[in-house]
């Protein structure tokens, strides 16, 4: 179906389905996961594993947040120390371990 302006027109059910899919993607579900959840629902069965999958996504998000917090802390330390190079930083308090690693030394622990 097309509108008078030539744009495709979709039934409300299709628009709703696309809205649900996009919302699920924003929550971190892959298209494959969304398809599995929708397929179970289409068969007239509730999706009991939605709760378990959502809890698993929460764990994934928490892990990503922890990783990003570590990255932010490292970048903040680099900025605060005034680092000027990844390999030959002239800052006395350089938090980057690259030079130590390149020379086979273990980076100092915080």
Do the Cβ atoms of 55 and 27 come closer than 8 Å? no
pLDDT tens-digit series, residues 32-77: 999 988 887 676 666 678 888 889 999 999 999 999 998 898 888 8
Residue appearing with tokens 């350089």: 94
Q: Over 60: is that where the pLDDT of 110 sits? A: no
pLDDT of residue 108: 55
Calculate mean pLDDT across residues 24-39: 91
Q: What is the DSSP track for 78-99?
A: HHHHT---SSS---TT----HH
Q: Looking at residue 44, what is its pLDDT? A: 67
Query: Tokens at residue 7, please?
Result: 């744009």
Entry pTM? 0.63
Task: Output the six-digit token pair for 65.
Answer: 């947040």
Domain ranges of the chain: 1-47, 53-110
* Cα radius of gyration (the chain): 24
């Amino acid at each position: 179906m097309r509108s008078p302006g030539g744009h495709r027109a979709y039934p409300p059910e299709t628009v709703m389905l696309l809205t649900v899919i996009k919302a699920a993607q924003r929550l971190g579900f892959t298209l494959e996961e969304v398809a599995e959840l929708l397929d179970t629902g289409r068969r007239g069965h509730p999706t009991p594993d939605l709760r378990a999958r959502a809890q698993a996504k929460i764990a994934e998000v928490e892990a990503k947040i922890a990783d990003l917090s570590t990255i932010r802390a490292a970048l903040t330390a680099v900025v605060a120390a005034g680092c000027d190079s990844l390999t030959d930083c002239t800052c006395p308090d350089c938090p980057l371990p690259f030079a130590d690693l390149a020379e086979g030394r273990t980076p100092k622990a915080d």
